Structure 1
Amino acid sequence: MERPIRQVVKRLVMALVVLVATALVVYADREGYRDSSDGPVDLLDAFYYATVTLSTTGYGDITPVSDSARLTNILVITPLRVLFLIILVGTTLEVLTERTREEWRLNRWRSTLRDHTVVVGFGTKGRSAIQTVCVTGLKKEQVVVVDPSSKAIDAATAEGYAGVIGDATRSDVLRRAEVHKARQIIVAPQRDDTSVLVTLTARQLNRTAKIVAAVREEENAPLLKQSGADAVITSSGAAGRLLGLSVLSPAAGMVMEDLIQQGSGLDLVERPVVRGEVGKTPRETDDLVVSVLRGHRVLGYDDPSVGTLQLTDRLITIVRATPETRVTPGVRPLPPG
């Protein structure tokens, strides 16, 4: 769909072509016109006559006097005048209609959007994060991408996500993404300082949403925590650890890469304890339990303080990726690193 400004420019060019064509027609038959002020009609007079004629102003100072000039006005100039008006009026109506339709669509979209996911940055990290959460059953209509690049937003909307162009460090841009109604916010811009500012702004607007942010350098992770991020992923550190693990054991590196690639092979997921598992130890469950979430504590599967499983616990397990496990409610992937 063309942008309104491009439509206006295209129509203005068309109107200019009609104007020039009309002026050339008048100039070619200039002997049949009279200028009440100085008599002969030159090229400037031809453009002046074309302008006032096409705009229906019609001052009457330059008039066709010969039969050929009057016939040309009937057969050529009048259709050109109609075409000129159609171009200008059509442009105005089309732009206003498009703007009204867009405003209506945005207002309707905002009124129905609740508990969605806002992703700041549609680069490699942001795109991978969206793909991961969508594998677990999140609908594309529930994802809003915020990016300062119009090309990135065009790419996001082409994939079915909603897009907001702008600087996410500004609260008005995040409000347009309805961040105050979001359930989770993924902060994945290109710069660490931008991550900090976006996290601060997002936490100000939404006190309850889960915010996961990415940084390049580990030394900036504590600052993001203080800014309100619930979880911080260090991209350079995580990549470095995976590289080191792959050097020590290529097979182990392949397994770790498989675990963080959601939807294929083995998946690392978080799920609630079912009633049939209450009173059992983590080793007695059907799944391969890695850790137990009890309250705000993450306990290892072999931690003595775990004891037996409680109904309020959540389990971090390794499961074989299948279509059923990918869309099970309450099962969500864990962030890599």
Structure 2
Amino acid sequence: MKLPGQDAIARRADERVATYRVKLPKKIVEHPFRQVAKRVLLALSLLVLTALIVYADHEGYNDNSDGSVDLLDAFYYATVSLSTTGYGDITPVSDGARLTNIFVITPMRVLFLIILVGTTLEVLTERTREEWRLTRWRSTLRDHTIVVGFGTKGRSAIQTVCATGLRKDQVIVVDPSSKVIEAAVADGYAGVTGDATRSEVLMRAEVHKARKIIIATQRDDTAVLVTLTARQLNRGAKIVAAVREEENAPLLKQSGADAVITSASAAGRLLGLSVLSPAAGMVLEDLIQQGSGLDIVERPVIKAEVGMSPRQMDDLVVSVVRGHRVLGYDDPAVGTLELTDRLITIVRATPGSQVAPDERRLPPGVKPMTPPAG
């Protein structure tokens, strides 16, 4: 008799003892062992074919032991011939048998050796090359983004971040499903298969060197555990997590998340707004979709804008980020803009552009400020 939840506990136990692997983006090829198996079968096929050719012309061969060549002798001769052992106890004596050895068996012998030696070298080379790529990848990886969960939320988050100029080689996907990781690798991202609630899995994703961590798991309790583990391993990274239930948002913030998005309530509010005002719902959905229509972006204040109020700006300013505070555009505490402020503005998206949001509305020659880590 199974207790309630016993299957789930067993499944989690299996996930915890699984082998955690890092997969880098590359062309999907067959597993090395499958390649070896195919080549062994090909080598055996050549062996059988050679034995049948010899047996078909067995009268042209001489066996020093009894003078005749049967099927067993044919397989024996094929084995020692293709392996270049050549004991000399069975020899071709007729012209036809010798011509067959010259034009058929000798090329098959060369092909047999190429298959065996080539397979060994290819497997060793592939493993060495993969280990070298992985070592080099670990040594050069810095300030990357980790995405835990490659479902609908995780994919959308990656697409939004990459639309602002982040390279795909700076994104690592962590998911317990190997099929999901294969899909992420096929899209050009590095992937780690394993349970992100375990520190060794996040360490394989180089979490201690990450700058941003996006947690988009299917369960709220998993999101809390991942947040706790990630914050313990990296105190300075910016962690953004998604939860289904709004009541779990404070728990995630207490666990170390810098920002928490409630997916269920956010979708519900958008539905309600669309019912009350379809046009307002369309505008809000347009803002959510990165790279089309209107975009909401964060950029620094330039020198020419210092001393101005948000209402005097050419851009549509929504909020002002001052220190660790986010102030509304009409907040009296804003007063005038300072050089260290950052602006949350709504701009017209430029489809196909890889320009970062900070650079979209700045005058020529003005470089954007680097946003503070965390």
Smaller-chain TM-score bracket? 0.7 to 0.9
How far did 1:299 drift? 2.6
Does residue 305 (structure 1) correspond to residue 337 (structure 2)? The answer is no
Does residue 282 (structure 1) correspond to residue 322 (structure 2)? The answer is no
Deviation per residue, 1:290-328 (Å, 9 max, x gap): 223233232323333333333333222222224567461
The match for 1:50 among 70, 74, 78 is: 78
**Contact 1:116–1:142, Cα closer than 8 Å, also in 2:** yes
**Which residue does 1:80 correspond to in 2?**
108
SS of residue in 2 equivalent to 1:293: strand
- Counterpart Cα distance in 2 of 1:32 and 1:92: 36
2:108 partner amino acid: L
The percent identity for this pair of structures is 77
SS of residue in 2 equivalent to 1:317: strand
Superposition pairs for residues 220-299 of structure 1, below 5 Å?
A: 220-299=248-327
- Counterpart Cα distance in 2 of 1:326 and 1:292: 16
Q: What 5-or-longer segments of structure 1 have no aligned partner?
A: 333-337
The match for 1:142 among 156, 161, 170 is: 170
1:118 partner amino acid: I
**Which residue does 1:200 correspond to in 2?**
228
Range 230-239 or range 68-77, more displaced: 68-77
- Counterpart Cα distance in 2 of 1:279 and 1:327: 20
Does residue 106 (structure 1) correspond to residue 130 (structure 2)? The answer is no
TM-score, normalised with respect to structure 1: 0.83
Deviation per residue, 1:139-173 (Å, 9 max, x gap): 333223334455544544444x3312411524444
**Which residue does 2:349 correspond to in 1?**
321
TM-score, normalised with respect to structure 2: 0.75
**Which residue does 1:335 correspond to in 2?**
none
**Contact 1:136–1:331, Cα closer than 8 Å, also in 2:** no
Superposition pairs for residues 127-138 of structure 1, below 5 Å?
A: 127-138=155-166
SS of residue in 2 equivalent to 1:134: helix
Q: What 5-or-longer segments of structure 2 have no aligned partner?
A: 1-26, 360-367
SS of residue in 1 equivalent to 2:129: helix
Superposition pairs for residues 5-84 of structure 1, below 5 Å?
A: 5=32, 6-31=34-59, 43-44=71-72, 46-57=74-85, 63-64=90-91, 66-67=93-94, 68-69=96-97, 71-84=99-112
**Which residue does 1:163 correspond to in 2?**
190
Does residue 126 (structure 1) correspond to residue 154 (structure 2)? The answer is yes
**Contact 1:291–1:301, Cα closer than 8 Å, also in 2:** yes
- Counterpart Cα distance in 2 of 1:174 and 1:42: 63
- Counterpart Cα distance in 2 of 1:48 and 1:134: 62
- Counterpart Cα distance in 1 of 2:60 and 2:225: 71
Range 110-119 or range 214-223, more displaced: 214-223
1:311 partner amino acid: L
Deviation per residue, 1:78-119 (Å, 9 max, x gap): 322221110011111122222222222332232222112222
- Counterpart Cα distance in 2 of 1:42 and 1:236: 77
How far did 1:20 drift? 2.1
- Counterpart Cα distance in 1 of 2:205 and 2:305: 41
How many matched pairs? 330
- Counterpart Cα distance in 2 of 1:257 and 1:330: 28
How far did 1:283 drift? 2.3
1:198 partner amino acid: V
- Counterpart Cα distance in 2 of 1:121 and 1:13: 40
Deviation per residue, 1:242-265 (Å, 9 max, x gap): 111111111111011011112222
Mark the CA change 1:317 to 1:51 in structure 2 (over 3 Å): closer, same or farther. Answer: same
**Which residue does 1:174 correspond to in 2?**
202
Range 206-215 or range 48-57, more displaced: 48-57
**Contact 2:59–2:68, Cα closer than 8 Å, also in 1:** yes
